[in-house]
């Protein structure tokens, strides 16, 4: 993955975590619709990060991500996933 894209994705992770109040407000609003409301919050953050990955790749590299770049993105999510969950739900 291009270093600029990786940097942007990591920034989006940290931005999403810092805006956890918005994410948790959405989670509370939708909690009756899901068995595990925590999954809603995690999914929102992952969606924001996934969108950033695609947007930044297109913006910076002027193309869609390659299969290898997407695989690197998945590895990055796996590496950051526990920290994202912990940060969302920490008080």
Averaged over 5-31, what is the pLDDT?
87
Do 9 and 52 form a contact (C-beta atoms < 8 A)?
Answer: yes
Q: How many domains does the chain have?
A: 1
The pLDDT, as a whole number, for residue 26 is 82
**Residue 17 near residue 46 (C-beta atoms within 8 A):** no
**Cα separations in angstroms, 18 against 4, 12, 15, 52:** 21, 10, 5, 16
Q: Mean pLDDT, the chain, as a whole number? A: 89
For residue 13, give every residue at least 6 positions away whose Cβ sits within 8 Å of its Cβ, in sequence order, or none. Answer: 45, 49, 80, 84
How much is the average pLDDT of 48-53?
A: 94
* Structure confidence by residue, pLDDT tens digits, 53-62: 999 999 999 9
Q: Could you tell me the pLDDT band of residue 70, with boundaries at 50, 70 and 90?
A: very high
Q: Which two tokens stand for residue 21?
A: 């109040």
**Where residue 13 falls among pLDDT bands split at 50, 70, 90?**
very high
For residues 20 and 87, the answer to whether their CB atoms sit within 8 Å is: yes
Provide the pLDDT for residue 91. 65
Q: Please give the residue range of the domain that contains residue 73.
A: 3-89
């Amino acid at each position: 993955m291009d270093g600029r894209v990786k940097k942007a994705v990591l920034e989006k992770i940290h931005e999403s975590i810092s805006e956890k109040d918005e994410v948790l407000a959405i989670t509370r609003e939708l909690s009756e619709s899901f068995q595990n409301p925590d999954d809603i919050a995690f999914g929102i953050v992952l969606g924001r990060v996934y969108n950033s990955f695609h947007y930044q790749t297109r913006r910076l590299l002027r193309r869609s991500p390659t299969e290898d770049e997407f695989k690197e993105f998945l590895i990055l999510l796996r590496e950051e996933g526990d920290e994202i969950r912990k940060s969302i739900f920490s008080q």
